[in-house]
A = this chain, B = another copy of it.
């Protein structure tokens, strides 16, 4: 049985503003290594799935930039969505396209383009195991990350009964408050990572049975009519539209240093750091400074005697904030005049 990979590479991401912009979203930026996150993601899939059987789903306006970033992927495998409709339609389209191209009822491995993962071998091993479980049990398998901290920024999964090295999903929990997150971590909940593994057929069957937002549009996808499919769907996440409604979801714990690199603080966790704990990129000189994040895109940054700052300089614009402030860039962007906010 063959395997396919689906890499979700949508999302405009204001969280790394001013480095990230609609034209240059997070997955195209070198945030964890010296390569864009998307390149890291493709390397990571490496031995698991060949590029010929990897689909990348992104926004229509980004498709060329995405392909230019990972030119090994055949251009037809880069799908440009005519509109953002959430992960549900994106994965449904991918499943239908795989079904059209591979009659062997393959397993599809779904990941995002904008993660950082420390332990590539552990990642591959877990996904291979998830694929076996999905095949054997004809289940929707999600990988639940063993939490490294009580992070209120993630959804959580409560594992239930054991079954063949996996667990049934007892409950999906929304992003909690901090106290609830601490209790959940103590109680053995896992982070809902967004890593999914299932047979294409099983996933399409679940959508047909449970997802009225997508099911009526599936015939367009089966015919390969992207525009008609996206015109017909109602936006929905795969979590809400499929997983939370299904009775057949298993979770496999994963512990391979997964990070969704959702904020500058996350970036400080995943990026190489100097002896003083600074994560810097570009022409940055950190003197008597520690635990800072600095990105000099096309200019020079000098830090002197500061700590826990985030400094990003790009195209004549320098943003200076704290690690905490950087977690709420949305409020900043809203407070700025349009001429600054919309700087590209």
Q: Residues of A at under 8 Å CB distance from B?
A: 18, 283, 285, 287-288, 296, 298-306, 309, 311, 313, 316-322, 324-325, 329, 332, 335-337, 340, 343
A319 contacts B302, C-beta separation under 8 Å: yes
B287 contacts A303, C-beta separation under 8 Å: no
Indicate whether A336 sits within 8 Å of B299 (C-beta atoms), given known contacts A320-B311, A325-B288: no
A317 contacts B302, C-beta separation under 8 Å: yes
The SS class assigned to the A binding surface is strand
- A34 and B258 CA atoms in complex are apart in Å by 51
- A69 and B186 CA atoms in complex are apart in Å by 68
- In angstroms, how far is the closest chain B Cβ from the Cβ of A19? 13
A313 contacts B318, C-beta separation under 8 Å: yes
- A301 and B317 CA atoms in complex are apart in Å by 6
Q: Please give 7 more A-B residue pairs, beta carbons under 8 A apart, in addition to A296-B318, A300-B317, A305-B321.
A: A299-B318, A300-B318, A302-B321, A303-B321, A304-B322, A304-B329, A318-B318
- A287 and B322 CA atoms in complex are apart in Å by 12
A322 contacts B336, C-beta separation under 8 Å: no
Smallest Cβ-Cβ distance to A323: which chain B residue:
B305
Show 9 A/B contacts (Cβ-Cβ < 8 Å), sorted by A: A298-B316, A299-B317, A300-B317, A300-B318, A301-B318, A302-B320, A305-B321, A313-B313, A320-B320
Indicate whether A304 sits within 8 Å of B321 (C-beta atoms), given known contacts A299-B316, A316-B299: yes
Q: List, in ascending order, chain B residues with CB within 8 A of A302's CB.
A: 18, 317-321, 332, 336, 340
- In angstroms, how far is the closest chain B Cβ from the Cβ of A324? 7
Indicate whether A306 sits within 8 Å of B285 (C-beta atoms), given known contacts A300-B343, A343-B300: no
Q: List, in ascending order, chain B residues with CB within 8 A of A18's CB.
A: 302
A303 contacts B316, C-beta separation under 8 Å: no
A332 contacts B287, C-beta separation under 8 Å: yes
- A304 and B299 CA atoms in complex are apart in Å by 20
Smallest Cβ-Cβ distance to A321: which chain B residue:
B304
- In angstroms, how far is the closest chain B Cβ from the Cβ of A333? 9
